[in-house]
Amino acid sequence: MASIYREIEIEAEPARVWDAICDVGAVHRRLAPGFVVDVRMEGDVRIVTFADGRVVPERIVGIDSTMRRMAYAAVGVPERKHHNASFQVFASGRSASRLVWITDVLPDTLAQTFADNMEKGLAVVKRELEQEGA
């Protein structure tokens, strides 16, 4: 199984970054607008529509406000044997955050595609959360 680890520094308070991460039904408005164009919730599954047209159902596995960690798993995506991921927010300096995104995916051949998409997504997240506080 491929594991992809990415982290970024965000010039925003950890509580504000966490608030956007744990608002799982508002990714398209609060976290990655433009990269994600729509989200709708069906129970504990969010249906995410990406700008490139992909639609991915993701079960929200857990939201831990104490650890500032949110985990999810893609469900019902035939080309993926397995896909789970988590975001975690850490304090970094006086008013900054470190956001860690870890994704595990099978088959391994999807690793580079996921890594590329994670980089694109994190660039949008960083820009959005830093602008929000400006």
CATH of 2-132, one of 3.40.50.1820, 3.20.20.10, 3.30.530.20, 1.20.1090.10: 3.30.530.20
d(CA 58, CA 76): 9
pLDDT of residue 134: 45
pLDDT confidence bin for 84, thresholds 50/70/90: very high
Q: What percent of the chain has pLDDT over 90?
A: 90
Rg of the chain taking only CA atoms, in angstroms: 14
Phi, psi dihedral angles at 47 (to 5 degrees): -100, 110
Q: Which residue has the tokens 């925003």?
A: 12
Give the start-to-end residue ranges of the domains of the chain.
2-132
Other CB atoms within 10 A of residue 77 CB: 14
* pTM, entire model: 0.93
d(CA 109, CA 70): 25
Is the pLDDT score of 24 beyond 90? yes
Question: Encoding tokens for residue 74?
Answer: 């893609």
29-56 per-position pLDDT tens digit: 999 999 999 999 999 999 999 999 999 9
pLDDT of residue 78: 77
d(CA 105, CA 52): 20
